Structures are given as structure tokens and as C-alpha cells.
């Protein structure tokens, strides 16, 4: 991989726009890396630590990301924060759950500038049904995929190692990279940066 030149203090992320769906996004050129995952899995926190300062809004309340949010690194190179999915404690959320899953699948399937996908999973949970759907779509569409096992600082070393081994046993294909990650302790950060740099190069 090339030396990382994308994420540095003189080259911060810039918020571009929010869109309710793929058809409302203003352009489809250049290269994008998208972040997806269940509600409250930490997508915005990962984007913020990549940027070294807060740019993506974070919340302790699941389901707060309601739009496709685009952030520009350089001209034609962007990070994308997709809406969280899976939060359905109320009837309204159950209806919106399927709507947002549809929006995410359409973005992944039809966004020409998408060059890499980061799927975040909370280490305290295993893969859910829609996680598997995203993995299958990425393999079918030949979109490079990283599974980011997030929040490993929430468990002890032995417990986190046990959980990580579970993911390696479940994901048998060598085309998918797995990265244990912690925004708090910056574990896995340099590896993620290098992969994103490679995708955007």
C-alpha cells in the first residue's frame, strides 16, 4: 500500500451535504468510502477520529443518523456516513427500519463512485441478518469490504480476543479484511487509514 497522505492536519474533512436517499445526492464522480452499521455502533466516532476533530455528529440515542452524509477529503475523494439500521423498538422505527435498509442497499448497489465499504460491528454482538446482506452484496458487486469490530475497549483482553476469534470463524473468505478497533484507544486506526488511502488512490 502507498504511504498514507490522505489524513493529515493540513487536509481536514469538509462536510459537503446530507441526502435522504441515493437519488438526492448531487454528484456521482470521483471515489467514495462508505461507513455502514447498526444504530449506535460508532460510525460517526470513527469518522471523527480519522479527521482528528469532530465533524460527524454523534449521539448516545440509536437511530439519530437519518441521512446519507458526505464529507470531502480532497477534490473527488469522500467519506460517506450511511444511516444506522436495526433500531426498531417502536412501530414507527420498525417501519423506518425497512426504509433505511432499502436506502443503504440502493446506495451500495448503484453508487458508481463507491470504492470501498467499512461495515462496523459492536464486538459485544455477532453479525445480524442485515449485516450478512451487506456482506453478500459487497461480494456480489465486488466492492472491497472491511469489517471493523468496534468498541473492543468495552471488553477485557481475553473476552475481546474470544469474540474476535468468533468473527474470524464466521467470515471464511479471504477477500474480507477484519480489523479490531477502538476509537477511544485508537487501536486499529493506522491500519484503517492505510486501507482507506489505498481505496481512494
Domain extent, residue 187, equals 14-200
Coil/strand/helix, residue 178: strand
Question: How much is the pLDDT for 89?
Answer: 53
Question: What is the grid cell recorded at 4?
Answer: 498514507
* Per-residue DSSP letter, 3: P
Question: How much is the pLDDT for 133?
Answer: 95
Asked, for residue 5, whether it belongs to a domain, the answer is no
Asked, for residue 91, whether it belongs to a domain, the answer is yes
Give the number of domains in the chain.
1
- Gap between the Cα atoms of 190 and 117, Å rounded: 17
Question: How much is the pLDDT for 122?
Answer: 96
Question: How much is the pLDDT for 116?
Answer: 98
pLDDT for 27-86, tens place per residue? 899 999 999 999 889 998 999 899 876 666 554 444 445 789 999 998 899 999 999 887
Question: What is the grid cell recorded at 190?
Answer: 493506522
Asked, for residue 136, whether it belongs to a domain, the answer is yes
Asked, for residue 8, whether it belongs to a domain, the answer is no
Question: How much is the pLDDT for 28?
Answer: 94
Q: What is the CATH number of the domain that holds 129?
A: 3.40.50.300
Asked, for residue 181, whether it belongs to a domain, the answer is yes
Instruction: Collect the ranges in the chain with pLDDT lower than 70.
Output: 1-5, 8-11, 53-65, 87-96
Amino acid at each position: 500500500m502507498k504511504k498514507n497522505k490522505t489524513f493529515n492536519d493540513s487536509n481536514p474533512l469538509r462536510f459537503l451535504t446530507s441526502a435522504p436517499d441515493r437519488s438526492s445526492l448531487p454528484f456521482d464522480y470521483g471515489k467514495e468510502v462508505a461507513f455502514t452499521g447498526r444504530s449506535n455502533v460508532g460510525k460517526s466516532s470513527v469518522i471523527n477520529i480519522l479527521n482528528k476533530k469532530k465533524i460527524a455528529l454523534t449521539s448516545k440515542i440509536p437511530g439519530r443518523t437519518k441521512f446519507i452524509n458526505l464529507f470531502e477529503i480532497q477534490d473527488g475523494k469522500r467519506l460517506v456516513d450511511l444511516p444506522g439500521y436495526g433500531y426498531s423498538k417502536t412501530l414507527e422505527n420498525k417501519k423506518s427500519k425497512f426504509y433505511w435498509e432499502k436506502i443503504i442497499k440502493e446506495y451500495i448497489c448503484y453508487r458508481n463512485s463507491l470504492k470501498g465499504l467499512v461495515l462496523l460491528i459492536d464486538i459485544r454482538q455477532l453479525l445480524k441478518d442485515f449485516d450478512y446482506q451487506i456482506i453478500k452484496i459487497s461480494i456480489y458487486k465486488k466492492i472491497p469490504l472491511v469489517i471493523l469490530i468496534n468498541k473492543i475497549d468495552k471488553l477485557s483482553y481475553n473476552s475481546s480476543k474470544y469474540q474476535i476469534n468468533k468473527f474470524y470463524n464466521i467470515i471464511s473468505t479471504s477477500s474480507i479484511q477484519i480489523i479490531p478497533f477502538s476509537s477511544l484507544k485508537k487501536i486499529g486506526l493506522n491500519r484503517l487509514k492505510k486501507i482507506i488511502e489505498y481505496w481512494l488512490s
